[in-house]
């Protein structure tokens, strides 16, 4: 546990950016990433802790470990409606990571723990850009720790469940419009708890089905810090240099259902749907501890809608030492057409994936993945601020990981 | 072999992943030609703000902002009669500062900003911005309006004298001499504002026939050059903070003794007072005793001496002089004129094929607030972002908004696609 704590502290500085689908990032295993981010119908060892705890008990060896990292290079561009004004993000490179360790206690029961980063966002616009009163930059980070137990009822059915301990924080910067002409910063951290349950079915040796449900987690930030700076002295009494706020950011529940079929010893095709319960993100309310006539609570409607992601992928086992994967998915935006903000540039997104696993020795797998996302160019508006224009995003994410089982 | 193939795909993927782009804004001048643009008007066209015409204000005049957008669609150079400094040629510039009133209360308000004035001397070059502070519609056609010799005698306009081509030149003559391909015209504000800002006593309203004749002559002459143009109409006074900032019930009574004394004095006239806010007592020659209580729809001007209300019995023992109040009758006079002007403007715009900016409608919208990019524009004095410290003219941000209203009308009329200006770049009143 001591080691785990220091790992978490080390990684607390990690930031990453939204690739699509709101601020969810599903890069929790390089093998799954390579095959279109499909995970539920597979038993890829320890990384099942995230994708489907039900298949963890189907791991072949007594012990299984897996770790990886996926640097995200994301850019969003914007052109204001009716104008030739353009802007582009200069996001820091995000690095979501994962680490899993699992072992079999008995033949039919496995336990394990995973540390992974399923939600996050890091968007940095120019501080003087046209949308500076909506957002200059935002960074949302979460790290989940998930102790998990999985039980294989028989050789066809596995069940698993994990407790998800989520810790995370958010920081954002905004400029304040005239006549205030100042700057606002807020930051806060919190910890919350959810769960992850999965069911894994093997109706036949060739056909696998996975169902996984990861619960909603509400990140409640209490007593976060607010800072108002560069405030004219005439207004200083209304905008304190330091203060506190409460806010809630919901991390939505996911229901994933996947199928995989082995057409031969060498070739598997898989498909998955992810229903993401984004409607929980109704509004971002910044509840200032101390209000006054000029500083009311900030209520920002979001009204996200539930979304359905459709994924297909395939794996080709070239040899015992080399497996190749590819996949494709479509991730429709959960954002509301009235409330599209440049703080989460989440467009309808098409993505393709590639993956390669190299197994130099028995039990060791070096896993590479490549994910490219294209946020389809579209006109979007945030009506309350009358801020709109054309957005386009492109993201590429090379990933590397290693798995070891014995 | 397949491994190699995979590497190729990955490389192609990386190449494809260079930065995303958005479709470029397609610029077009439509059926208009912006190569030589001339702006004609008054102080609003000149870039007057906070009681003066000074360099940085001119640089954010709406014609200057428009010209920058025109330049993206074939527009040419745009020359303004820029001042040397930040105080202009006449005193009167305001800044925000702290002042202490007669009750010892210190508050933030516009106060005089003193600095080195520019000399009234001809600039010696021709200009595209023919905005002349103080000009009424018929002034634009008056020979000698820019006579340097006439300025000290009060017969000519010092602002026009700086760039008039000769002693007998007219503004419209000089505008035509620029051989414009496109012009903007926003004139008529002073035809009512001279009357309105003096409480209906210091000036007269230009008659509708004079106004219509002047405008018809101006537009006929401008269109004869082959130029196309855009015209803006005149905002109503109730949309301007100069008239709407001081409330009609600015008489605040805090002691029962005051209330009793005033009730005793004014009781015979049927006027009663209460603790709290009360309607001001104003001078009115037509009322019995030459005074009465103000009506809730009447307007007190921004220039009313606040200290006199607070400490010298103005609005209670002493009626507020007529020059600080627009009475119901006076407001009707102004509104009838504005409405007649605006139907003339609208009729001439369609007759001569001009783009038409309904500035009156837009300024009325400001009363409820307009939001762009998260910034709110209202007609609130000082903090509403639209109006400068004199309560009549606009801030740079306000002028940029006006430029966008012009662009909207030009795009619509001439099938152009001019980009709007980025409002975020322009400042409003900056608080200390």
Q: pLDDT digits over A302-315, tens only?
A: 999 999 999 999 99
Interface of B with A (CB under 8 A): 2-3, 6, 9-10, 13-14, 16-17, 19-25, 27, 72, 108, 370-376, 382-383, 385, 397, 419-422, 424, 427-432
Spatial separation of the C-alpha atoms in residues A131 and A336, rounded to whole Å = 18
Please give the CATH architecture assigned to the domain spanning B37-242+330-425.
3-Layer(aba) Sandwich (3.40)
Which of B10, B18, B24, B25 has the highest number of chain A CBs within 10 A, making it the mutation to test binding with A? B25
Residue A25's pLDDT is: 81
Residue A43's pLDDT is: 94
Residue A155's pLDDT is: 92
Residue B7's pLDDT is: 60
For the cut 80, the answer to whether the pLDDT of residue A20 exceeds it is no
Q: State whether A133 and B375 contact (CB < 8 Å).
A: yes
Q: State whether B382 and A179 contact (CB < 8 Å).
A: yes
CB of A268 within 8 Å of a chain B CB? The answer is no
Place A10 in a pLDDT band, splitting at 50, 70 and 90. Answer: very low
Spatial separation of the C-alpha atoms in residues A33 and A317, rounded to whole Å = 16
Residue A107's pLDDT is: 92
- Chain A 166-195, residues with CB within 8 Å of chain B CB atoms: 177-179, 181
Place A4 in a pLDDT band, splitting at 50, 70 and 90. Answer: very low
A158 to chain B, closest Cα gap in Å: 34
Q: State whether A178 and B428 contact (CB < 8 Å).
A: yes
Q: State whether B19 and A75 contact (CB < 8 Å).
A: yes
Q: State whether A75 and B427 contact (CB < 8 Å).
A: no
**Coil, helix or strand at residue B40:** strand
CA distances from A199 to A196, A255, B184, B253 (A): 11, 11, 72, 77
Which of B10, B20, B396 has the highest number of chain A CBs within 10 A, making it the mutation to test binding with A? B20
Residue A33, CA atoms < 13 Å, CB-side half-sphere: 31
Residue B271's pLDDT is: 93
Q: What are the domain boundaries of chain B?
A: 37-242+330-425, 251-326
Percentage of residues in chain A having pLDDT higher than 90: 90
Q: How many residues are there in chain B?
A: 432
Q: State whether B429 and A178 contact (CB < 8 Å).
A: yes
Q: pLDDT averaged over chain A?
A: 92
Closest CA to B185 of B157, B218, B217: B218
Measured between beta carbons, which residues in chain A are less than 8 angstroms from residue B424? 128-130, 132-133
Do A137 and A173 touch, CB atoms closer than 8 A?
Answer: yes
Angle at A250 between CA A245 and CA A254, to 5 degrees: 170
Q: What are the domain boundaries of chain A?
A: 2-399
Sequential DSSP letters for A117-180: --BEEEEE--TTSTTTTT-SEEEEEEEEEEEEEEEEEETTEEEEEEEEEEEEEEEEEEE--TTT
Give the pLDDT mean for A330-342.
95
Spatial separation of the C-alpha atoms in residues B380 and A360, rounded to whole Å = 74
B12: Cβ contacts below 8 Å, ≥ 6 apart: none
Do A382 and A302 touch, CB atoms closer than 8 A?
Answer: no
Regarding an ipTM greater than 0.95, the answer is no
Spatial separation of the C-alpha atoms in residues B6 and B3, rounded to whole Å = 5
For the cut 60, the answer to whether the pLDDT of residue A326 exceeds it is yes
Spatial separation of the C-alpha atoms in residues B359 and B3, rounded to whole Å = 67
Q: State whether B383 and A324 contact (CB < 8 Å).
A: no
Helix (H) / strand (E) element for B222: namely helix B208-224
Q: State whether A82 and B419 contact (CB < 8 Å).
A: yes
CB of A385 within 8 Å of a chain B CB? The answer is yes
Do A398 and A71 touch, CB atoms closer than 8 A?
Answer: yes
Closest CA to A134 of B366, B22, B428, B372: B372
pLDDT digits (tens, 9 = 90+) for A113-150: 999 999 888 999 999 999 999 999 999 999 999 999 99
Which of B17, B430, B432 is closest, CB to CB, to A394?
B17
- Chain A / chain B CB contacts < 8 angstroms: 122
Spatial separation of the C-alpha atoms in residues A406 and A399, rounded to whole Å = 24
> Given the structure tokens 């991390």, which residue do they identify?
A251
Do B57 and B81 touch, CB atoms closer than 8 A?
Answer: no
Which residue stretches of chain B have pLDDT < 70? 1-17
Closest CA to B71 of B400, B426, B419: B419
Torsion angle (degrees, nearest 10) of CA B296, B299, B301, B304: -30
Residue A263 — φ and ψ, nearest 5°?
-75, -25
Place A35 in a pLDDT band, splitting at 50, 70 and 90. Answer: very high
Q: State whether B373 and A386 contact (CB < 8 Å).
A: yes
- Chain A 195-214, residues with CB within 8 Å of chain B CB atoms: none
For the cut 80, the answer to whether the pLDDT of residue A192 exceeds it is yes
Residue B393's pLDDT is: 98
If one looks up domain A2-399 in CATH, what number appears?
Answer: 2.40.160.60
Composition of chain A by helix, strand, coil, percent to 5:
10, 60, 35
pLDDT digits (tens, 9 = 90+) for B117-166: 999 999 999 999 999 999 999 999 999 999 999 999 999 999 999 999 99
Give the pLDDT mean for A180-202.
96
pLDDT digits (tens, 9 = 90+) for A60-115: 999 999 999 999 999 999 999 999 999 999 999 888 999 999 999 999 999 999 99
B349: Cβ contacts below 8 Å, ≥ 6 apart: B231, B355, B356
Residue B10's pLDDT is: 56
For residues A268 and A3, which has the higher predicted lDDT (pLDDT)?
A268
């Amino acid at each position: 546990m001591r080691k785990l704590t220091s790992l978490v502290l080390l990684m607390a500085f990690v930031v990453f950016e939204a690739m699509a689908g709101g601020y969810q990032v599903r890069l929790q295993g390089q093998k799954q990433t390579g095959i279109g981010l499909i995970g539920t119908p597979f038993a890829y060892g320890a990384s099942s802790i995230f994708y489907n705890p039900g298949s963890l008990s189907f791991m072949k060896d007594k012990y299984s470990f897996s770790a990886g990292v996926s640097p995200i290079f994301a850019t969003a561009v914007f052109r204001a409606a009716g104008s030739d004004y353009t802007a582009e993000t200069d996001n820091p490179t995000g690095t979501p990571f994962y680490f899993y360790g699992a072992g079999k206690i008995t033949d039919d029961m496995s336990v394990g723990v995973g540390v992974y980063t399923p939600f996050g966002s890091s968007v940095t616009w120019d501080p003087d850009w046209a949308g500076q009163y909506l957002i200059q930059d935002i960074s949302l980070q979460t790290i989940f720790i998930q102790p998990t137990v999985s039980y294989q009822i028989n050789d066809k059915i596995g069940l698993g469940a994990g407790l998800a301990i989520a810790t995370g924080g958010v920081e954002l910067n905004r400029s304040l419009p005239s006549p205030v002409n100042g700057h606002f910063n807020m930051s806060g951290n919190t910890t919350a708890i959810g769960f992850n349950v999965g069911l894994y079915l093997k109706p036949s040796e060739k056909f696998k089905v996975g169902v996984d449900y990861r619960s909603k987690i509400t990140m409640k930030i209490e007593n976060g810090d607010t800072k108002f700076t560069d405030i004219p002295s005439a207004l200083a009494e209304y905008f304190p240099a330091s203060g506190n706020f409460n806010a809630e950011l919901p991390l939505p529940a996911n229901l994933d259902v996947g199928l995989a079929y082995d057409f031969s010893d060498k070739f598997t095709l898989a498909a998955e749907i992810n229903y993401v319960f984004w409607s929980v993100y109704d509004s971002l309310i910044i509840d200032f501890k101390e209000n006054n006539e000029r500083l009311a609570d900030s209520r920002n409607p979001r009204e996200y809608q539930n979304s359905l992601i459709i994924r297909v992928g395939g794996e080709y086992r070239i040899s015992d030492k080399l497996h190749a994967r590819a996949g494709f998915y479509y991730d429709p935006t959960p954002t509301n057409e009235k409330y599209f903000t440049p703080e989460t540039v989440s467009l309808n997104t098409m993505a393709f994936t590639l993956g390669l696993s190299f197994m130099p020795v028995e039990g060791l797998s070096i896993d590479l993945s490549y994910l490219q996302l294209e946020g389809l160019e579209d006109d979007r508006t945030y009506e309350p601020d009358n801020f709109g224009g054309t957005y386009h995003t492109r993201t590429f994410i090379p990933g590397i990981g290693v798995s070891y089982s014995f | 072999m397949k491994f190699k193939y995979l590497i190729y795909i990955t490389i192609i993927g990386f190449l494809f992943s260079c930065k995303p782009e958005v479709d470029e804004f397609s610029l077009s001048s439509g059926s208009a030609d912006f190569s030589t643009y001339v702006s004609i008007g008054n102080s609003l066209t000149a870039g007057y703000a906070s009681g003066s015409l000074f360099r940085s204000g001119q640089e954010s005049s709406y014609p200057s902002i428009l010209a920058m957008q025109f330049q993206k669609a074939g527009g040419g150079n745009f020359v303004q009669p820029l001042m040397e400094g930040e105080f202009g040629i006449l005193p009167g510039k305001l800044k925000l500062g702290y002042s202490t009133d007669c009750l010892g209360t210190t508050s933030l308000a516009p106060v005089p900003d003193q600095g080195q004035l520019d000399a009234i001397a001809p600039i010696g070059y021709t200009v595209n911005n023919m905005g002349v502070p103080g000009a009424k519609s018929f002034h634009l056609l008056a020979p000698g309006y820019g006579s340097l010799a006439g300025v000290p005698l009060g017969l000519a306009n010092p602002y026009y004298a700086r760039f008039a081509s000769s002693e007998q030149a007219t503004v419209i003559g000089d505008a035509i001499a620029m051989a414009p391909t496109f012009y903007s015209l926003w004139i008529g504000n002073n035809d009512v504002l001279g009357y309105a800002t003096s409480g209906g006593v210091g000036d007269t309203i230009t008659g509708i026939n004079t106004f219509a004749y002047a405008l018809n002559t101006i537009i006929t002459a401008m269109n004869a050059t082959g130029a196309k143009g855009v015209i803006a109409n005149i905002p109503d006074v109730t949309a301007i903070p100069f008239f709407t900032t001081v409330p009609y019930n600015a008489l605040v009574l805090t002691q029962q003794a005051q209330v009793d004394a005033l009730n005793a004095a004014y009781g015979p006239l049927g006027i009663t007072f209460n603790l709290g806010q009360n309607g001001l007592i104003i001078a009115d020659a037509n009322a019995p005793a030459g005074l009465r209580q103000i009506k809730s729809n009447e307007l007190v001007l921004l220039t009313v001496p606040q200290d006199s209300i607070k400490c010298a019995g103005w609005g209670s023992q002493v009626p507020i002089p007529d020059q600080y109040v627009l009475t119901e009758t006076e407001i009707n006079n102004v509104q009838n004129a504005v409405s007649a002007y605006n139907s003339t403007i609208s009729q001439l715009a369609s007759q001569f094929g001009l783009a038409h900016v309904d500035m009156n409608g837009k300024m009325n919208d400001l009363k409820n607030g307009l939001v762009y990019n998260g910034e709110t524009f209202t007609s609130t004095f000082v903090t509403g972002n639209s109006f400068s410290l004199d309560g009549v003219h606009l801030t740079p941000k306000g002028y940029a908004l006006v430029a966008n209203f012009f662009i909207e009308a030009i795009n619509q009329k001439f099938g152009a696609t001019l980009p709007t200006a980025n409002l975020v770049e322009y400042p409003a009143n900056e608080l200390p």
